[in-house]
A and B are shown apart, each in its own frame.
Chain A
Amino acid sequence: MIWVDVVQAVVSLTPAALATGVFGVEASLGSLWPMIAVAAFGTVGAIADALRWAFTRYRVTDAYVERRTGVFVRQYRSVRRDRIRSVDATAKLRHRLAGLRVVTIGAGQQHNAGESAFVLDAILRTDAWRLQEELLRPRAAGSAVPAPSGRPDGSGVGDRVTGTSDGARGTEDAQVFARLRPSWVLYNVFNSWAYIMAIGLLWGGFWLLSTFGVDVGGFLDGLADWEALGWGWTIGIGVLVTGAVGVIGLAVNFFTENWNFELARVSGEDGTQLRTRKGLFTTREVNRDERRMRGLQISEPLLWRWMGMADTNVVTTGLSLWSMSEPTAILPRGPIGVARSVAVDVLGSRPSPFDVPLVRHPAAALRRRLCWATVGGAALVAVVVWLVITDVLPAWTVWLGAAGWPVALLGAVVAYRALGHAVAGPYVVLRSGLISRSTVALQRSAVSTIALRQSLLQRRLGLMTVSAMTAAGWGGYQASDVDAGEAVEFATAAAPGLLEPFLVPNRLSAERS
């Protein structure tokens, strides 16, 4: 069936008209220049968009998606349809007002090699949906969408919804795994970004108020008798207020970004996709092909582990881990309990790989970490002492350097306690990490290379590092410092059928016992 459709790209709305005349400020050049700048930007942007629209065409054929664009430099871009791994539809507020969507087609391009994504900005909402359906489930167009198949527990998990809130989308079959819970906001407001956000907000506010002629400094002076309070209190109050502004800003940001968040499995003839939708002003929908998924990763940041904060990402081929929009994240940062229960639904394996008890690593692994922490601490002290002798640093910094040692030892203990590994059904589970303890469940069948490493020190301590390489996610995941005797068994289990031809009975251990 040949499906050839040539649709024209549509210009996105510009704020040019909005900017002029809305604000009744005195027409002094000083207060008006931002408006003029905005208006000029808007006009230029509109002209540029109009030109871009006039020169852009795209086409979907049987085998390729093609795009021609560029006013002065003509650009041709094509993506093979069987290489397409994700089709995202996003919309900024102005797109939504005009009923438009920006479609980003992901085909496993290498961002570090400078390849950009295939973006169609902007096309009609209905066209965007049709593209998504067409490109992600090639043969499903027009036919009835069948129930999800190939998943042992396809039914019975999550509630089955037919025809979601987005009625225009038509009949569809979706299993919803998670929806936004307002309490998740707590997990997203208390971090160092709060202060950066607050500084940005306050500076912006100060600048805006100054343009309108408000004396901010005098207003602040009048609030309290700062001289009587002293420096300590002033700074304390300043930090608290800034923090509070930052927290409120992050909360608002969290809700606008994750409004109506929904994680669901939608089915197609060629398998299923994990779909997330979210956003208040800018809506964002990401579809991830489950045939390309190789596992799941849950990371818990060290400082917030007590409150059970967790990030949940899928391990999949063809999605960029460096992208700001985090296409691999299937949940907003939230409680670990939700992450685990969603993991059960998504992986569809029981017992869940994230609930099986992990094998602790031998005490020698702790000794190795303590050893390196001591060496690192000693090196730091040595460098500081050298700098003190050569009069680069004052003498008291030696103590600061020495204080690094207990911190390093503590870090060694934390890092050791994070270590763990297991084999659970079709998955191999690896846990490690100091700053962020991450647990990854990787499909055993997805392991493409097994590497065992042993340094001289590890050899003395009877340890080995087992790495499972894969095409997905970070490319490889490792279990550091497994007991050397157990490492071969674990590696054999992690990649079934790979190591067996190279195994022989361990005569040494037989002789010893």
Chain B
Amino acid sequence: MASAEQRRPPSGTGALRLRPPGNRIERKAVWWWIAQAVVMPGSLLAAVSVGYLLWEAARPWLIVAVVVLAVLTSVSLFVEPFWRYAVHRWEVTDEAVYALTGWLVREWRVAPISRIQTVDAVRGPVEQMLGLATLRVTTASSRGPINIGGLDRDVAAAIAERLTAVTQRTPGDAT
């Protein structure tokens, strides 16, 4: 994990810094994000382009939308997946689940295992094809779970099983 050390840590002047999580995600995840980019800004771009070609009266307006969507699509096709792959890291220890996600906005999330409410390994259609899975770890907070996308299917299942076993041993209602 030498490349992990090359990137700037989330700390400037303090004596301690947060090290990035230990594991990278699967290389195949890049395809997963590309597929997502094709679905979301991509299909919208296609629709608007068709509109531009067929509806002449609206061309002065639609050209703006076409250009903006073209830029968005190319960024999320050719920049975002590779940037995300360079950033995303994850780690599950006996005490905590730790994930680093994002590209323009990075987020480091740490949840103690004692506070975990549910653990799921989720697979969407594209992830199914690529043999990937997303590990979703929720706590009692309503402010969103920890999502670790782009894991190998078997790895995610194994972690989910291990975490479920650990959380069942932990007493209390985890609030």
| Chain A bound to chain B | yes
A223 within 8 A of B: no
In the complex, 17 of the A-B residue pairs with CB atoms within 8 angstroms, ordered by the A residue number, are A448-B175, A449-B115, A450-B110, A454-B107, A456-B104, A469-B143, A470-B140, A471-B141, A475-B142, A484-B13, A486-B13, A487-B10, A487-B14, A488-B16, A508-B9, A508-B17, A509-B13
By a CB distance below 8 angstroms, the chain A residues around B96 are 498, 501-502
Q: Pick the contact of B19: A451, A452, A503 (CB < 8 A).
A: A503
Inter-subunit contact A488/B19 (CB<8 Å): no
A77–B54 alpha-carbon span in the complex (Å): 58
Since A471-B140, A506-B15 are in contact, a sample of 10 more A-B pairs with Cβ atoms closer than 8 Å, ordered by chain A residue number, is A448-B111, A448-B175, A449-B111, A452-B10, A453-B102, A470-B141, A485-B12, A492-B16, A505-B17, A508-B17
Distance in angstroms from B142 CB to nearest chain A CB is: 4
Inter-subunit contact A485/B110 (CB<8 Å): no
Q: Pick the contact of B93: A462, A487, A501 (CB < 8 A).
A: A501
Inter-subunit contact A476/B141 (CB<8 Å): yes
A430 within 8 A of B: no
Inter-subunit contact B19/A504 (CB<8 Å): yes
How does the 8 Å CB contact mask read for B123-166 relative to A, with 1 for contact and 0 for none?
A: 00000000000000001111110100000000000000000000
B18 within 8 A of A: yes
Inter-subunit contact B175/A471 (CB<8 Å): yes
Inter-subunit contact B175/A472 (CB<8 Å): yes
A447-468 interface (Cβ within 8 A of B): 448-456, 459, 462, 464, 467
**A501-B95, A502-B98, A503-B19 given; A484·B10 CB < 8 A:** yes
Chain B residues near A (Cβ < 8 Å): 8-19, 21, 91, 93, 95-96, 98, 102, 104-112, 115, 139-144, 146, 174-175
A497–B110 alpha-carbon span in the complex (Å): 11
- Chain B residue at smallest Cβ distance from A110: B142
**A498-B96, A499-B110 given; A449·B141 CB < 8 A:** yes
What are the 3 A-B residue pairs with the smallest beta carbon separation, nearest first?
A485-B13, A471-B140, A475-B142
A127 within 8 A of B: no
By a CB distance below 8 angstroms, the chain A residues around B98 are 502
A269–B139 alpha-carbon span in the complex (Å): 29
- Chain B residue at smallest Cβ distance from A449: B111
**A453-B106, A484-B12, A509-B12 given; A475·B143 CB < 8 A:** yes
A317 within 8 A of B: yes
Distance in angstroms from B25 CB to nearest chain A CB is: 18
**Interface residue range, chain A:** 35 or more
A506–B17 alpha-carbon span in the complex (Å): 5
**A452-B10, A499-B18 given; A471·B105 CB < 8 A:** no
How does the 8 Å CB contact mask read for A242-271 relative to B, with 1 for contact and 0 for none?
A: 000000000000000000000000000000
By a CB distance below 8 angstroms, the chain A residues around B21 are 502
Distance in angstroms from A495 CB to nearest chain B CB is: 8
By a CB distance below 8 angstroms, the chain B residues around A326 are none
A159 within 8 A of B: no
**Which of B16, B95, B111, B174: most chain A CB closer than 10 A?**
B16
**A471-B140, A475-B142 given; A451·B14 CB < 8 A:** no
How does the 8 Å CB contact mask read for A476-501 relative to B, with 1 for contact and 0 for none?
A: 10000001111111011001011101
Q: Pick the contact of B10: A454, A476, A497, A498 (CB < 8 A).
A: A454
Inter-subunit contact A506/B14 (CB<8 Å): yes
Distance in angstroms from A484 CB to nearest chain B CB is: 5
A456–B111 alpha-carbon span in the complex (Å): 24
A504–B4 alpha-carbon span in the complex (Å): 13
Inter-subunit contact B16/A503 (CB<8 Å): yes
A454–B18 alpha-carbon span in the complex (Å): 13
Inter-subunit contact A504/B17 (CB<8 Å): yes
**Which of A459, A492, A502: most chain B CB closer than 10 A?**
A502
Inter-subunit contact B17/A451 (CB<8 Å): no
- Chain B residue at smallest Cβ distance from A467: B143
By a CB distance below 8 angstroms, the chain B residues around A488 are 10-11, 14, 16-18
Inter-subunit contact B141/A469 (CB<8 Å): yes
Inter-subunit contact B143/A476 (CB<8 Å): yes
Inter-subunit contact B12/A462 (CB<8 Å): yes
Distance in angstroms from A425 CB to nearest chain B CB is: 21
By a CB distance below 8 angstroms, the chain B residues around A503 are 16-19
A219-246 interface (Cβ within 8 A of B): none
**Which of A451, A456, A483, A503: most chain B CB closer than 10 A?**
A451
